[in-house]
Amino acid sequence: MRKIKSNDEVIVIAGKDKGKRGTVSRLVGDNKVIVSGMNIVKRHTKPNPNAGIAGGIVEKEAPMDISNVAIFNPETNKADRIGFLVEDGLKKRVYKSTNKVID
């Protein structure tokens, strides 16, 4: 079970977007995430008339390392760490500071 999943609200703890909040839109591989509205890069694209793609400079979200984000705890309004708790044979994610179940 992963500590950070899709649609989790996270806060960026390192990098150019430090302190900003967003939701995880996608996981890339084992240790990268794409957070909506964060880590925007400019990509120079070549036009492709067959596919209907106009060329130019396109801004898109780039993957960032999963270690640069932490889950956002709405009770404390701070970044928090994630732990695991096994109840009735089910493994659940919990906030480390409050021991409350996530989701």
Instruction: State pLDDT tens for residues 13-58.
Output: 999 999 999 999 999 999 999 999 999 999 999 999 999 989 999 9
Range of the domain at 28: 9-74
- What pairs with residue 83 in β-bridges? 94
pTM of the predicted structure, to 2 decimals: 0.83
31 lies in some domain: yes
Q: Is the C-alpha dihedral spanning 71, 73, 77, 79 positive or negative? A: negative
Residue 29 falls within a domain, yes or no? yes
Query: Taking the CA atoms of the chain, what radius of gyration do you get in angstroms?
Result: 17
Residue 62 lies in a domain: yes
Q: Evaluate whether residue 23 is within a structural domain.
A: yes
User: What values do phi and psi take at 67, rounded to 5?
Assistant: -75, -15
- Would you say 72 and 24 are in contact if contact means Cβ atoms under 8 Å apart? no
Predicted confidence band at 65 (pLDDT cuts at 50, 70, 90)? very high
Give the number of domains in the chain: 1
Within a domain: 102? no
Q: What is the DSSP string of 19-43?
A: T-EEEEEEEETTTEEEETT-SEEEE
Whole-number average pLDDT of the chain: 94
What pLDDT score does 9 carry?
96
